[in-house]
Amino acid sequence: MEYQRKIQHSAAYIQEKLGKIQDGCVGLVTGTGLGGLTDSIENPVSIPFGDIDRFPVSTVKSHTGRLVSGSIDGVPVLALEGRFHLYEGFTPLEATHNIRVLGELGVGTLILTNAAGALNPSFETGSPMLIEDHINLTGQTPLRGENVDEWGDRFPDMCAVYDPALRQLAVDKALALGIRLERGVYMQITGPNMETPAETRMYRMMGADAIGMSTCMEAIAAHHMGIRLLAISCLTNKNLPDCMQEASLDDVIRQAGKSSAAMTKLIRAVLKEIP
């Protein structure tokens, strides 16, 4: 299958540059304004996305677009700074190329971060939110089309996309560090337009606590491959339908930057104890 071959080309390129990926290597995808997490990588080796054979290249100004390999507190990591969004014109298969490559390289655990708007009125801007479940409202899925049986089932179960043990670990670590960690349901829309007040009201009624433009595609692809998943949103703005406030990309980046230290602290604490 053509798509699988593309993934294998990208994986082979990375393996040629970095050598065999270490056992226990954890994948990281950093969202808008959260690239700072990769600053804590020791002995970093970085590869621009543009150099990786058949890898898509992100067009978003807030995303650097590079892979950084190294370790954080002794844990081997492969971090992808930047991702691929449906709103950029990428298909669901292209938008999950990054995840498929990590899976192909043997990454068994993945931490996704993103910037999201809070819909739950009790959530504070700036807090991290542990994603407990999601609503994929894009009408699209990276599993459409021929199934790659080596990767996963044709009809994968979606009971627990976000690994319960990793979620508990994140809750425990946040408590120990004194970080306020919200928990909730993430909804993905395609974007790039933000939501109207009427849509915001509807999304909240549908059961979403936060909304963004990235993570469901990646989570579905990762779960399909049997990758253990932890996902944390940085709540960069709050959308209340009766008093909507404008949220520009600059606001989102600024807020994510402010929250990045707490997010990094939490993720480092989790990384150290990943079973």
Interacting residues with ligand HPA (CB under 6 A): 115-117, 194-195, 211-213, 236-237, 239, 247, 252
Q: How many CB atoms lie within 10 A of CB 98?
A: 25
Minimum CB distance to ligand HPA, residue 178 (Å): 25
User: With respect to ligand HPA, which residue has the nearer C-beta, 99 or 252?
Assistant: 252
Minimum CB distance to ligand HPA, residue 217 (Å): 14
Minimum CB distance to ligand HPA, residue 56 (Å): 20
Q: What is the DSSP letter of 196?
A: -
User: With respect to ligand HPA, which residue has the nearer C-beta, 69 or 255?
Assistant: 255
Minimum CB distance to ligand HPA, residue 247 (Å): 5
Minimum CB distance to ligand HPA, residue 112 (Å): 14
Minimum CB distance to ligand HPA, residue 238 (Å): 8
User: With respect to ligand HPA, which residue has the nearer C-beta, 107 or 129?
Assistant: 129
Residue nearest to ligand HPA as judged by C-beta position: 117
Closest C-alpha among 96, 90, 110, 98 to residue 14: 98
User: With respect to ligand HPA, which residue has the nearer C-beta, 220 or 227?
Assistant: 220
Contacts of residue 74, defined as CB under 8 A and 6 or more positions apart, other chains included, come to: 272
Minimum CB distance to ligand HPA, residue 241 (Å): 12
Closest C-alpha among 127, 117, 242, 111 to residue 191: 117
Calpha distance 100→82 (Å, rounded):
15
User: With respect to ligand HPA, which residue has the nearer C-beta, 41 or 115?
Assistant: 115
Closest C-alpha among 234, 246, 237 to residue 197: 246
User: With respect to ligand HPA, which residue has the nearer C-beta, 86 or 247?
Assistant: 247
CA distances from 219 to 2, 50, 143, 224, 271 (A): 22, 23, 11, 8, 19
The answer to whether 269 and 177 are in contact (CB under 8 A) is: yes
Peptide bond before residue 76 is cis, with ω within 30 degrees of 0: no
User: With respect to ligand HPA, which residue has the nearer C-beta, 109 or 239?
Assistant: 239
Backbone angles phi, psi at 221, to 5 degrees: -65, -40
The answer to whether 215 and 137 are in contact (CB under 8 A) is: no
Calpha distance 3→18 (Å, rounded):
23
